[in-house]
Structure 1
Amino acid sequence: MTTDPSRLAPRLYQQAAAALAREVEQGLLPPGAILTQGQLVQRFGISRSPARQALEELARLGLLERQGAARFSVAANSVQPVPRPAPADPVRLTPRAGWEMLYPEIEMEIVSRSSLGSWRVNEAMLARHCGVSRTVARDVVGRLQNRGIIRKDDSGRWFAPALTARHIDELFELRWLLEPVAMEKALPHLPGGLLDQMLAELEAAMAPDAHRDSALLDHLEQRLHVEMLGHCGNDALIRAIRLPQSLLIAHHMLYQLTLELFGTEPFLTEHREVVLRLLSGDIAGARAALVAHLRISRRRAMLRIEAVQEMIQPDPLPYLERIDPA
């Protein structure tokens, strides 16, 4: 069975609908407040198609009532745990950066395809495909670059490199060289109780009856490799670590599709060993445990990628062009 993993991420209309549903339920959008496609387009930086889908989804859930072809009002019987008086003036939605709504979906679409090969990213086609301005598309591309997902080739064109064995080896080698240094520098600056919290979370996740999903595994990976290391106090070092940590973004997709590949997730015990050694003051042992964890993780990452290659068959996207290997 094949699937398009990018569909695992919430679509734009689902993200907009979820944000509005929360505001209705909290009383921030009171009964009778008018919502239109144009308001959603301005606020979320999306095109009219997902704006219309979001409104129709909220109407289906009974939170909105249709007032016209593209005009809805908040239903009188909508749930409002925190009621607030209706304002005298019409509700004015606060605009937010369009790229923030768009980015998670684009990230998943590109990362999921990176397990299959390298891809050229066309910024103009991205804007057209998503129904957003070139400025919004450029912001998305900039974020993708900052997170190490895309880079420029010798001709100055954007591309997402394939998650090949060689690329994975290079990224993991950088990680086991840089992350132990950042960990040791971060240790004196960690918030009180952080290591104890991390240990408790790991042990809870390791319990025989624990519910482990991709979101939990993402959180635990971020705790050790991003949050903790972020206290090292060396911005240049953190920037250097950010590129190889693009693998953590790939893991977000890989965990969703290969959650049962290893039975009990093996990195939990490895993270626990690092944290225990830090708590005991054994810095050299913690560094060695972290390197050992990353060396083992390199092979597991390749096994996940190989498994995913047989599972997925993503739909073509107009802003991505497959790059044939040289």
Structure 2
Amino acid sequence: MSTTGSGTAPKLYQRACEVLALDISNGAIEVGSRLTETGVAERFGISRAPARQSLMQLERMGLIQKASSRGYDVLALANPASVIVAPKAAANDDPKIHFLPSWELIYSEIEMEIVSRTTFASWRINEAILAKHYGVSRTVARDVVARLQQRGIVQKDDSARWFAPALTMQHIDELYELRWVLEPLALEKAVPNLPEGFLTRVRGNIESAINCQVPQVGSTLDRFEQELHVELLGYCGNSSLMRAISLPQSLLIAHHFLYPRTTDLFETEPFLPEHLEILTHIQDGNIVGAKDAMTAHLQISRERAMMRIQAVTHSMTPDELPYLDLMEPL
């Protein structure tokens, strides 16, 4: 469902997708071959959830198509050179995908699975079934849930049971209000610490997107959000402030899910000129103007976030996950 952010390890399904894409492009997996969730899971030593995601990504890339029965059929490539894969995927002789033996092994995937579903409803989380689903110990599952709590994604109810609250209007209002209070302060603290060339790079990315005059793909929009709201603010030098900001920024994870599914909601992405205004004020030395522009941007973004959520909830239904129980639809 998501794309790996800058500086983070690729997710399980992305690593599997890279290797399979390379094998298809170089003929190691022949045209007409059948790929299944079970086969992919066994080959890479992963669960069926990331195996399914890797196959869905390959289908979006045009490398495979849904078979008339079980699995996917490998297609002939019109242009094999167009298939881009990470070089290290080909260099790994061990077919298994290895990550740190801890909660980090599965955290990013679970985070995205849960946050994407909070756009539809609130969900109860069963820690024991989560552990069984991913083939990990209860301790690892508990560490995952603890991290989700730190990120503001899950909470405990009055009976001390874990749940992920739905992104209702009230919840979104609360999270955005925290953002427009905290992020302008972090911006002010970050500006003196920005490395040389940072603003030029980020502004250049935004200007190029605006000049394209075409809808941007979800992963690109997600990168722009990360550059301003995570990377830039990360230079503020106040770790306590950044921890406070990280809780309402769970919304950025939801955007990661929403952007690819709502690219036709706007003719061009409206947050791009807002980001550009903030960056222009910073480059002009107008920090007060940059902070005001950041506040205005986040206040407007609150309404757009709800529009995206409503568009998605009206057009699709989330797949069931065994460790999530539906609490209340939006």
Q: TM class, shorter-chain normalised? A: 0.7 to 0.9
Does the alignment pair 1:97 with 2:100? Answer: yes
Give the conservation status (yes or no) of the 8 Å contact 1:145–1:151: yes
Alignment-derived partner of residue 204 in structure 1? 208
| Aligned-partner residue type, residue 217 of structure 1 | L
Does the alignment pair 1:195 with 2:199? Answer: yes
Q: What 5-or-longer segments of structure 2 have no aligned partner? A: 5-10, 25-39, 55-62, 64-85
Alignment-derived partner of residue 218 in structure 2? 214
Q: 1:263: Cα distance to partner?
A: 1.2
Q: 1:192: Cα distance to partner?
A: 0.8
3-state SS in 1 of match to 2:315: coil
Distance in 2 between residues matched to 1:293 and 1:53, nearest whole Å: 33
Alignment-derived partner of residue 224 in structure 1? 228
Of 149-158 and 285-294, the range deviating more from structure 2? 149-158
Q: How many residues align?
A: 282
**Residue from 281, 284, 287 that aligns with 1:280:** 284
Provide closer, same or farther for how the CA distance between residues 195 and 125 of structure 1 changes in structure 2, counting only shifts above 3 A.
same
Distance in 2 between residues matched to 1:100 and 1:141, nearest whole Å: 11
Distance in 2 between residues matched to 1:50 and 1:185, nearest whole Å: 39
Q: Deviations over 1:16-57 (max 9, x none)?
A: 5246569999xxxxxxxxxx988954xxxx359978999xxx
Provide closer, same or farther for how the CA distance between residues 187 and 304 of structure 1 changes in structure 2, counting only shifts above 3 A.
same
Give the conservation status (yes or no) of the 8 Å contact 2:214–2:268: no
- Per the normalisation by structure 2, the TM-score is 0.73
Provide closer, same or farther for how the CA distance between residues 130 and 273 of structure 1 changes in structure 2, counting only shifts above 3 A.
same
Provide closer, same or farther for how the CA distance between residues 120 and 178 of structure 1 changes in structure 2, counting only shifts above 3 A.
same
Does the alignment pair 1:180 with 2:188? Answer: no
Give the conservation status (yes or no) of the 8 Å contact 1:13–1:53: no
Q: Deviations over 1:75-102 (max 9, x none)?
A: xxxxxx999xx9xxx9697842254453
Provide closer, same or farther for how the CA distance between residues 255 and 52 of structure 1 changes in structure 2, counting only shifts above 3 A.
closer
Q: 1:313: Cα distance to partner?
A: 1.0
Of 90-99 and 220-229, the range deviating more from structure 2? 90-99
Q: Structure 2 matches for 1:36-115, cutoff 5 A?
A: 40-41=44-45, 46-47=46-47, 95-97=98-100, 99-115=103-119
Structure of greater Rg: 1
Provide closer, same or farther for how the CA distance between residues 132 and 267 of structure 1 changes in structure 2, counting only shifts above 3 A.
same
Distance in 2 between residues matched to 1:238 and 1:246, nearest whole Å: 13
Q: 1:318: Cα distance to partner?
A: 1.8
Give the conservation status (yes or no) of the 8 Å contact 1:121–1:159: yes
Does the alignment pair 1:133 with 2:132? Answer: no
Alignment-derived partner of residue 164 in structure 1? 168
Alignment-derived partner of residue 17 in structure 1? 16
Q: Percent identity?
A: 54
- Per the normalisation by structure 1, the TM-score is 0.74
Of 273-282 and 112-121, the range deviating more from structure 2? 112-121
Provide closer, same or farther for how the CA distance between residues 92 and 119 of structure 1 changes in structure 2, counting only shifts above 3 A.
closer
Of 234-243 and 308-317, the range deviating more from structure 2? 308-317
Q: What 5-or-longer segments of structure 1 have no aligned partner? A: 1-5, 26-35, 55-60, 62-80
| Aligned-partner residue type, residue 16 of structure 2 | A
3-state SS in 2 of match to 1:207: helix
Q: 1:259: Cα distance to partner?
A: 1.0
Give the conservation status (yes or no) of the 8 Å contact 1:277–1:283: yes
Alignment-derived partner of residue 259 in structure 1? 263
Distance in 2 between residues matched to 1:192 and 1:217, nearest whole Å: 24
Distance in 2 between residues matched to 1:49 and 1:257, nearest whole Å: 20
Distance in 2 between residues matched to 1:305 and 1:260, nearest whole Å: 13
| Aligned-partner residue type, residue 17 of structure 1 | A
Provide closer, same or farther for how the CA distance between residues 228 and 166 of structure 1 changes in structure 2, counting only shifts above 3 A.
same
Distance in 2 between residues matched to 1:276 and 1:242, nearest whole Å: 25
Give the conservation status (yes or no) of the 8 Å contact 2:179–2:248: yes
Distance in 2 between residues matched to 1:179 and 1:142, nearest whole Å: 24
Provide closer, same or farther for how the CA distance between residues 234 and 110 of structure 1 changes in structure 2, counting only shifts above 3 A.
same
Alignment-derived partner of residue 326 in structure 2? 322
